[in-house]
Amino acid sequence: MKPLSKRRAIRDDENTGPPVDYDGQMWRIRSFDAARAVLRARDQTTQAGFTAEKIPRGYFRHHPILISDGEDHDAQRREVARFFAPSVVAEKYGDFINDRAQAVVDNAVMDGRCRLDEVALHYSVDVTATVVGLTESSIEGMAKRLVGFFRQPPVDLAAPAMGRTRRQWMQAAINGLIPIVSFYCADVRPAIRSRRRRERNDVLSHLLTAGYGTADILVECVTYGTAGMVTTREFITMACWHLLTNAELGREYVEAALPARLEILEEIIRLDPVVGHLYRRAQADIDISDNSGSFTISDGDLIDVCVRQTNTDPQVMGPDPETICPGRGLNRATPAAGMSFSDGAHKCPGQALALYETDALVHKLLAHRPRILKEPTISWDNVIEGYRLRGLDLSLMAPSRPASVSRQNPSPTRSRLQTADSHPSMRMTI
């Protein structure tokens, strides 16, 4: 096992120790074992991230899956699991994902260059929209509307009023309301009308069958759309950046079979998780322990699971935890991606989809031996506690450029796309 690449996303203002810390306002968990104990403390914690505690609960017949807890949340997770299971991703969406990735790469090759974060945005929105069922509108327009959700004032969950002034809360409401109304009118409403006429095998059709109201469906579509778009967009860019700046790692990835490639991607996202902090509110006393000692988190306390630190805990991850080491010998109970996809009741249901679609695009892209023209810049979104990578410009060369590929955006409108429903049999071929 040879270390191949170092962490890229580093926050200068982020405290890296001790393993478990309490400052009177918030517990900060940097130990892997303690973090897993918190995230698996079913019925003892509730979601506190993504400003969940400020979202009113009286407007929804079904509380949104991202911020619900308990039996209702578990039931929701079981119902949607069939759309995101690894076997479903491979068999139902495999050919579609490959086709979209190939179209994106072919267009980039024709142009001779691409800005990867922009390409990744439209590609990830395309894939997520197909799985969710938002297939009646423009992918380019939907991407702009989804990006609009993240133009928000900063937030500090440990501070009074989450660190926002009254003016900032008003600005947050305005900045959120306009994209939501646009997203509903342009993307969600047409998809609902289409599925009321003809049911499809997608998440939106399931929600309608389950009796979800319009407000419930809108919030779920926002959740799946933003989560599927934002995290995968950044992951694609980060993975490609690592693979292109380390020749040995990139060569190993390009030459590997699918299972080994997915292991490399899991190691990349372990080291550079897109979402760096997961927040929970204790609803009962919670006893946790690790190598540094035993602690009791009191009922009502706010908890910050520091993902970047838990994922590099040397007690669990072994030697050189702050480098990418394909073939890292982990305990079988330790997820290869660490806590990057969370754990417990709120573990990300789209993990398999994110890995497969990332591999489909990145592997096809690297086959053309792209060269970095401009390194990306890193900034931070403290609403989702994630990094943003922007401006990774690539040049692409090929022995012969495809002559029959349209220079048009490969997916300008979903009504002209080949969707999963039109595939009689889908197999994962990436």
Encode pLDDT of 220-236 as tens digits: 888 888 777 778 999 99
Residue 354 has pLDDT above 60, yes or no: yes
Is the torsion defined by CA of 319, 325, 329, 333 positive or negative?
positive
- Please write the tens of the pLDDT for every residue from 387-403: 999 999 999 976 554 44
Q: Provide the CATH number for the domain around residue 131.
A: 1.10.630.10
pLDDT reading at 409 higher than 50: no
**3-state secondary structure (DSSP) of residue 45:** strand
Percent of the chain past pLDDT 70, that is, above it, reads 85
Evaluate whether residue 60 is within a structural domain.
yes
Flag whether pLDDT at 156 surpasses 90. Answer: no
> What confidence category does residue 410 fall into, taking pLDDT thresholds of 50, 70 and 90?
very low
Q: In the predicted model, what is the mean pLDDT of the chain?
A: 85
Pick the most confident of 67-76, 297-306, 323-332: 297-306
Q: What pLDDT does residue 414 have?
A: 44
In what helix (H) or strand (E) does residue 114 lie, and over which residues does it extend? strand 113-115
Predicted confidence (pLDDT) at residue 80 exceeds the cutoff of 60: yes
Under 8 Å CB-to-CB from 21, ≥6 apart: which residues? 15, 27, 28, 30
Domain for residue 19, yes or no?
Answer: no
Q: Are 144 and 131 in contact (CB under 8 A)?
A: no
* pLDDT value for 399: 53
Which stretches of 47-158 are DSSP H helices? 70-84, 86-111, 116-132, 139-148
Whether 390 is covered by a domain: the verdict is yes
Task: Decide if 276 is inside a domain.
Answer: yes
Q: Could you tell me the pLDDT band of residue 57, with boundaries at 50, 70 and 90? A: low
Tokens of 75: 């039931």
Whether 16 maps to a domain, the answer reads: no
Residues spanned by the domain of 224 = 5-9+26-422
What is the structure's pLDDT at 147?
Answer: 87
d(CA 193, CA 196): 5
Read off the pLDDT band of 87 (50, 70, 90). confident
CA dihedral for 119, 125, 130, 134, sign (positive or negative): negative
Residue 106, classified by CB atoms within 10 Å of its CB into exposed (0-12), middle (13-18) or buried (19+), is buried
Query: Which tokens belong to 281?
Result: 């509110």
**Cα distance between residue 271 and residue 297, in whole Å:** 27
Write the DSSP string, 343-383.
-GGG--TTHHHHHHHHHHHHHHHHTT--EEEEPPEEEEETT
Residue 415 pLDDT class (50, 70, 90 cuts): very low
Domain assignment present for 298: yes
- Report how many domains make up the chain: 1
Q: What is the pLDDT of residues 169-200, one digit of tens each?
A: 888 878 778 888 999 999 999 999 999 999 99
Does residue 20 lie in a domain region? no
Q: What is the mean pLDDT of residues 280-301?
A: 92
Rounded CA-CA distance 136/194 in Å is 8
Could you give the count of Cα atoms lying within 13 Å of 388 in the half-sphere of its Cβ?
Answer: 13
14 lies in some domain: no
| 3 prior amide bond cis, ω within 30 | no
The verdict on pTM exceeding 0.85 is: yes
